[in-house]
A and B are shown apart, each in its own frame.
Chain A
Amino acid sequence: MSAALQHPSPRQARLRAARSFARRFRRNPLGMAGLFIGLALIFMAIFAPLLATHDPYAPDFAARLTAPGWNYWLGTDELGRDIYTRILYGSRITIFIVALVVFTSAPIGLLLGVVSGYFGGWVDAVLMRITDVFLAVPKLLLALAFVAVLGPGIVNAALAITLTAWPPYARLARAETLAVRNADFVAAIALAGASPWRIITRHIFPICYSSMLVRVTFDMAGIILIAAGLGFIGLGAQPPLPEWGAMIASGRRFIFEQWWVAAMPGAAIFIVSLGFNFLGDALRDLLDPHAKVRQ
């Protein structure tokens, strides 16, 4: 037995952990379904122009409110636009909003949480009370107020959701930090002369990553729903953008006769939200350190 096998290098260890993770993930059918839906969404967004059968914006008055069929797979809306094509293009907006929210709110939450947990004292008190204020107001209501101030639009809607989405991440990161701030390895690095900034970014951040990842995946469904909600009440994407929530809002008028106008984008929101929930569930089962101990 060689020494290399007994003491694998960090890189080999990471690789091995990833392989074992992938193996266990594959055994989780719901997780795989969620992953598939997520990848399908990204695929749709990237290849929308190739998959589309019509122009997503050009009205065709002659084909107004056509039922689903051979020519229009999911029917047409009140201006004769193909709903299938619009859902395809709408996936780009959905991904854009989700990505913008995740890439802004997760780092903000992580930083505030870790700083708060590591330094403690009055820094902790001040940051956590601010977090409490944001947590105390219902998410959609807060987002609504922000959009009302900023003006309607996709970017503003995403920013408004960000402002409501970071507090849970801050709480989570703080809890993780509190658990390790007095650990021996942190004391050892500090004794070796590392600055607080280095300790936070190089040694505490990585510990938070897995729980953050789980939380973010779970939140994606919520972000999609809030974005659709803002679109539905006219504060998100503006016409003619094929945002799914806005599409449902315009289909509401025809819900008795032409159900597909509202039902199709509704189904898209439903499937994608379900997919992210499955994915988040599976990731939690696999990454949660407490669950791992129980196995």
Chain B
Amino acid sequence: MNFQIATKGLATALLLVLAGPAFADTPADTLVIADVIDDVLSLDPHEVSEVGGVLVTTQVYQNLVSVDIEDATNIQGQLAASWEISEDGLTYTFTMNPDATFSSGNPVTAADAAYSLQRAVKLNSRSAFIITQFGFTAENAEERIRATDEGTLAITIDEAYSPSFFLVVLSAYVAAIVERAPLDAHEVDGDFGNAWLKSGAASVGSGPFQLEQWDPAVAIVMARNDNYWGDAPAMARVVIRQVAESATQRLLLEQGDIDIANKLGPDDHIAMADNVDTTTLNGPSSVIYYMGMNQREEPLNDPRVIEAMKWLIDYQGMADSLARGTVSVHQTMIPGGFLGESEYTPFSYDLERAQALLAEAGVELPISLDIVVWNNAPYVDFAQALQATMAPAGIELNLEVVDGGQWLERYRSHDLDGWMGLWGPDYPDPHSNALAFAVTSGDTPDDKETLADRFGFAPGDLSARTMAALRETDAATRQALYEEIQIEHTDISPFLFMFQEQRAIGVRSNVEGLVLGVTFADDRYWNVTK
């Protein structure tokens, strides 16, 4: 046996296992992205809510309006050319853009737009709450969302809000406009073509790309939409590949097998700093990392126990050493960069203070809590750091490290002590986060369960005040209201806010024109050249 041949063979086999099929440089007209897409369950734009799915529908579908990525208060028409708001603030009349066409070549009509929004309401998926909060139900959707003629769409909402709020929500992924005719053709048992569309077999949007293929947990392939009514993208294909490990993404990026690595850990960014072929692209992110404690459970229903836990986190130490520049300390519910942002950061690691609070609460120590954690960096690292800093005060965290599916399931089940996770806003308005963290279902217009309900949080008058802030039409007053609400919320809520993500992705140096999104999965690939 020739030892050298054996070693080489083994090394090659190892590389193949690590790298998957090895390509040379990616083709000049193809953008290859490494990401984690095993959370994608559906590619129906009115059903997606996972990071990977929203990233895809952002490239494929368009909305009536879109939000300027530089300035979230600047709302631009996309499929709608212009709009008018009635005196009472209840009826929005959109004039459709006559140039817009679907990937089939057919024009985007007001009828399609009305059908799309009605479909989002009637499908009633997990993300439907984003638009049903305006009082739409399956029964009234057709009456309140209607095409008055070929090019005019009239929408009536249930109460007057700050006008920018409804428009911002219409720019969210769940309000995507789809073409009606092919969906009608593929409808089975009144499912609005959902079974056909969710499988990723085709797409019926007007965006720069169209869906070509989806191999679940392997790859998603998008092709240029040749009937695109705007400037045609330079890339003929966009491929998103499942590469779970940060180290593997880095290896592929350095070899030129991929153009963009979306899930690189901080250590890999630092290790690549000297490589001239790659650069790190920084961008804003509104993702907030937090640990939620379930206040249905003893002794978490004692606010002093919750406050003690907030004093038992080494926020700065974790941000500096574990996350190394990929997060900044953030302790309120609205992310920095949004209207209503607050720099309130009252908590730091203070063992004595926490011990005093626990003594005052008179709880029996040690307290043992089961925490559900996603088996993914950085969650496991964060959870272990908390475990270590809380133990000296007598709070023992037992980590249940589970995969993404189980992690989400446990969080919806109400029977856990604590949950380590993240929250990204669905649309760039403070209400997206405020509704989740501070409002209980009794105060929501559609009576849907919120994040606060999931963790058994009784926010008192914060819930009503948050809804009042939404109705405030003056931006400066609204900002002041949110600042007040947040300070109180940070002090009393069972959410241990820790960090806001600082987005950093790895790209090949020749990649230009990539626009990073502002919410949680709205990066834009259509202007990319390389």
Residues of A in contact with B (beta carbons under 8 Å apart): 57-59, 61-62, 64-65, 78-80, 152, 234, 238-240, 250, 252-258
Contact = CB atoms under 8 A, between A and B. Distances in A.
B321 A254 contact: no
A57 B385 CA distance: 10
A256 B248 CA distance: 9
Contacts of A78: 322, 381
Contacts of A64: 321-322
A264 B398 CA distance: 26
A255 B249 CA distance: 13
B401 A234 contact: yes
A201 B165 CA distance: 80
A64 B322 CA distance: 8
B267 A250 contact: no
B322 A257 contact: no
B81 interface: no
Contacts of A58: 388
Contact of B267 (A65, A79, A239): A65
Contacts of B271: 256-257
Interface string B244-271: 0111001100000000000001010001
Contact of B321 (A62, A234, A255): A62
A256 B251 contact: yes
B380 interface: yes
B44 to A, nearest CB: 29
Contact of B247 (A61, A80, A239, A256): A256
B324 to A, nearest CB: 9
Nearest to B377: A253
Given A253-B246, A253-B267, A61 B400 contact: no
B385 A79 contact: yes
A64 B319 CA distance: 13
Of the listed residues A57, A239, A258, the one surrounded by the most CB atoms of chain B closer than 10 A to its CB is A239
Given A239-B401, A254-B247, A257-B271, 8 more contacts: A58-B388, A61-B314, A61-B318, A79-B322, A238-B401, A240-B387, A253-B245, A255-B247
Contacts, number: 66
B388 A240 contact: yes
8 contacts: A57-B387, A57-B391, A59-B384, A61-B320, A61-B385, A62-B321, A152-B401, A240-B399
A254 B267 contact: yes
Nearest to A254: B267
Contacts of A254: 247, 267
Interface residues of B, number: 30
Question: Which 7 A-B pairs give the minimum distances between C-beta atoms?
Answer: A61-B321, A59-B388, A234-B375, A61-B317, A239-B399, A257-B271, A234-B401
Nearest to A241: B399
Contacts of B317: 61
Contacts of B314: 61
A239 B384 contact: yes
B388 A57 contact: yes
A70 B63 CA distance: 61
A258 B247 CA distance: 11
B247 A252 contact: yes
A195 B75 CA distance: 91
Interface string B271-292: 1000000000000000000000
A239 B387 CA distance: 9
Contacts of B245: 252-253
B14 to A, nearest CB: 11
A241 to B, nearest CB: 10
A2 B467 CA distance: 105
Of the listed residues A62, A80, A240, the one surrounded by the most CB atoms of chain B closer than 10 A to its CB is A240
B383 interface: yes
B38 to A, nearest CB: 15
Interface in B310-344: 314, 317-318, 320-322
Nearest to A79: B384
Contacts of B247: 252-256
B167 interface: no
B402 interface: yes
A238 B371 CA distance: 11
Contacts of A252: 245, 247
A238 B321 contact: no
Contacts of A257: 267, 271
B322 A238 contact: no
B381 A79 contact: yes
Contact of B322 (A61, A152, A253): A61
Contacts of B318: 61
A61 B380 CA distance: 15
A79 B387 CA distance: 12
Given A239-B380, A253-B246, A59 B385 contact: yes
Contacts of B246: 253
